[in-house]
């Protein structure tokens, strides 16, 4: 097992061992359940097509995935600096990109596990209605890509400071900025409207997934955004290693 695999295993086990993993999981599943009931099981919900209900569920679940990704990413580096364990990694023969990748994959795996635990909600719609399995697959793929992008932003924010509070502020501001790009695109004129819409982390790039459609541009966008912030996190850690 390489260094990335060892760090992945260590970080993933930490989520299973510490209360934060269970707290985040419980809150996400509870709120997803409440939102699902409000959309799919409330009186009068039967007037909507099952595919429409499923699309709304993924739209609402994307918000919970974003919040969970922000919270899970805070401890990745900032907590290690607070407790002093980051020094052990800095003095070990492990490359910073291996540290970043291992931590990122562990957080993404745990977040994907939380999302997978909500699968019973789309299946309930399938039992009581008619939906395409492809829409379920696309919806969860979209949640994974969106969560990965926000986790990468959070890892960058966590790498910037030893304070989890500062990391939370930085991550929240950057993530909110990428969400607000869509609103900004609606109040400016062409070509800036297209530019900001293309940068927005939600709406244009997520709507296809919630409808069961894979667009190459959306996949490339999320992967590129993830790579960019993982690259920034790696460079920040390299710089801080020599401070």
C-alpha neighbours within 13 Å on the C-beta side of residue 32: 28
Residue corresponding to tokens 């490359």:
95
> What are the structural domain ranges in the chain?
3-241
Q: Provide the pLDDT for residue 45.
A: 52
| Three-state SS letters, the chain | CCHHHHHHHHHHHHHHHCHHHHHHHHHHHHHHHHHHHHHHHCCCHHHCCHHHHHHHHHHHHHHHHHHHHHHHHCCCCHHHHHHCCHHHHHCCCCCHHHHHHHHHHHHHHHHHHHHHCCCHHHHHHHHHCCCCHHHHHHHHHHHHHHHHHHHHHHHHHHHHCCCHHHHHHHHHHHHHHHHHHHHHHCCCCCCHHHHHHHHCCCCHHHHHHHCCCCCHHHHHHHHHHHHHHHHHHHHHHHHHHCC
28 token code pair = 């996400």
At 55 the pLDDT is 83
* Other CB atoms within 10 A of residue 85 CB: 11
Is residue 146 within 8 A of residue 210, CB to CB? The reply is no
pTM listed for this prediction:
0.88
Report CA-CA distances (Å) from 90 to 82, 106, 107: 14, 19, 20
Q: What confidence tens digit (pLDDT) does each residue in 97-132 have?
A: 888 888 899 999 999 999 999 888 888 777 766 777
| Tens-place pLDDT, residues 206-243 | 888 888 888 899 999 999 999 999 999 888 887 766 55
Q: Give residue 40's pLDDT band: very low, low, confident or very high (50, 70, 90).
A: low
**pLDDT, position 83:** 55
Question: Are the CB atoms for 58 and 143 separated by under 8 Å?
Answer: yes
Give CA–CA dist 159/167, Å, rounded: 8
Per-residue pLDDT at 193: 82
**Residue-level pLDDT at 90:** 53
Q: Per-residue pLDDT tens for 137-174?
A: 999 999 999 999 999 999 998 888 777 778 888 888 99
Q: Tell me the C-alpha distance between 146 and 35, whole Å.
A: 19
- pLDDT digits over 69-92, tens only? 988 888 777 666 555 555 545 555
pLDDT at 6 over 80: yes
Count of beta carbons in the 10 Å neighbourhood of residue 203: 15
Mean pLDDT of the chain: 82
CA distance 231 to 191: 29
Q: Which of 104, 90, 102 is nearest to 148 (CA)?
A: 104
Q: Pull the structure tokens for residue 2.
A: 């390489």
């Amino acid at each position: 097992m390489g260094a990335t695999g060892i760090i992945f295993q260590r970080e993933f086990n930490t989520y299973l061992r510490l209360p934060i993993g269970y707290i985040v999981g419980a809150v996400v599943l509870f709120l997803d359940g409440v939102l699902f009931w409000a959309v799919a099981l409330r009186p009068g919900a039967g007037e909507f097509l099952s595919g429409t209900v499923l699309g709304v569920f993924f739209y609402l679940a994307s918000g919970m995935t974003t919040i969970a990704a922000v919270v899970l990413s805070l401890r990745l580096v900032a907590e290690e600096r607070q407790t002093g364990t980051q020094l052990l990694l800095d003095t070990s023969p492990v490359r910073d990109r291996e540290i970043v990748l291992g931590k990122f994959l562990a957080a993404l795996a745990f977040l994907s596990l939380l999302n997978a635990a909500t699968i019973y909600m789309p299946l309930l719609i399938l039992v009581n209605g008619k939906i395409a399995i492809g829409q379920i697959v696309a919806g969860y793929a979209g949640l994974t890509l969106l969560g990965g992008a926000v986790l990468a932003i959070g890892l960058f924010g966590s790498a910037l400071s030893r304070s989890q509070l500062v990391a939370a502020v930085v991550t929240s501001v950057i993530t909110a900025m990428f969400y607000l790009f869509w609103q900004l695109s609606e109040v400016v004129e062409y070509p800036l409207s297209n530019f900001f819409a293309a940068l927005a982390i939600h709406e244009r790039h997520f709507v296809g997934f919630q409808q069961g459609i894979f667009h190459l541009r959306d996949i490339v966008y999320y992967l590129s955004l993830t790579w960019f912030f993982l690259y920034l996190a790696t460079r920040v850690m390299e710089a801080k290693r020599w401070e």
